[in-house]
Structure 1
Amino acid sequence: MPRRSASSWWRWRSWCSGSSGAERSWRRSVLELELEVVRDGFTLDVQLSLAPGPTALVGPNGAGKSTLLRSVLGAVPVRRGRIVLDGRALLDTARGLSVPTEDRRVAWVPQEYALFPHLTVLENVTFGIPGQVGRARAGAVMDQLGLAALGSRRPGALSGGERQKVALARALAAEPRALLLDEPLAALDADTREATRALLAESLHRLAIPSLVVTHEMRDVLALGGPVVLIEAGRIRSAGALDVFRASPPSEFARSLVTRVVGGV
């Protein structure tokens, strides 16, 4: 493992602890979305503001969850709208502005993790991050996620939970200002999912940047403990506190989601 620079290490630590006044100010990032996307007869039309910390995004299959994430990332053309992160416009169709995906500082963790099988864990985490500073930052993130001892292994030698951690570490090592996670626990078995769920929730709360997490599991929503956004047929049906979502599910889909946990399913 390469030697880490002290500045990189403590920068990561300050994200997690919130101990630095300067970093606390940096952390107050807000992601504001006004998007209209039309694809293959489907229309996504949303307005949403995301505060620091995890937000669960739930909805039926085909509701537009993945399309929303990919639109924020810049991977899907937007017919009309704006994306503003920390006051910086990433997209403004009225002005003809669209910041390239690689310059948005928005990280994405896909459901299948998209790790490079021929690279080691360390090489996966540092992929696209040049120089010693990047390697030092990657090492710090790997320490935080319990991956330090796995740096020389390849993805094929890892468990599902370990691969999920590597995908998250790669996203965090890029120093994103917002994070998108598309069903990050769906590929895991039940036992691994339970343990990884707690780590994921803790990591996102400590990182404290806008993090939009797609899930079909109410247990994931409960573990995240943050706001819940319900999307149906390409529209935001509700967005608000978890307690309100549980107490008054705003649709039949939401009621079924809540009931599955209450009923122990």
Structure 2
Amino acid sequence: MSQEVDQPGADDSQAPRRSIRSFVLRQGRMTVGQTRGIEQGWPRYGLTVAEGALNYTELFADKPVTLEIGFGMGQSLLAMAKAAPEQAFIGVEVHKPGVGALLASALAEEVDNLRVYNEDAIAVLEQCVPDASLARLMLFFPDPWHKSRHHKRRIVQPAFAELVRRKLKVGGVLHMATDWQPYAEHMLEVLSAAPGYQNQAADGAYIERPAERPLTKFEARGERLGHGVWDLKFTRTE
């Protein structure tokens, strides 16, 4: 459920150039339920980059806003939105079946504190999310791009850390999780070197899975097989 790596801060006078993608767009076949979710749910929950900058007050009143990049099929994002009606949640996912699945479930559950983009997350952050506006940004189980020659495709890079820092409020939190230890080490290295962040882990490494992040079926199966999961939380300090 990873997204596209861009280069924030590039010279705007230069001609646009294709960025390195951290996802492979394989839409797959939509189920009847997913298709219905898009058709019926999009007018209520859907957002587009073309609509421009978000107005949180119009969307959510004064609720603190969490944005998740790459929500997959949306089960954990929906669970978090249901568990915290006093908060607002925005999900970004490029794969349409996952968007359809989330919208179908959101309609069935009558969830109101949720909005969804079927877009590239970097475009959403750069063009739609106001600076210093997010209470939290979540990135759970992005594609680790295992091979060394593909590491440049990982979404967690210094430019991404700086872009996220700009979009978080001071005191806002970047929460990441991965089940691939080398990627966890990469995340830790990048964020530890990024200015304006403080690691919430007392030992400067990883934290226990916080209660607000639901345990997915995939993760539970991995735990039974002895696979690890690494959570990281970094707070914007300046």
What's the TM-score once normalised by structure 2's chain length? 0.31
By relative contact order (CA 8 Å, sep 6+), the higher-ranking structure is 1
What's the TM-score once normalised by structure 1's chain length? 0.29
Select the structure that is richer in helix: 1
Point out the structure with max Rg over C-alpha.
1
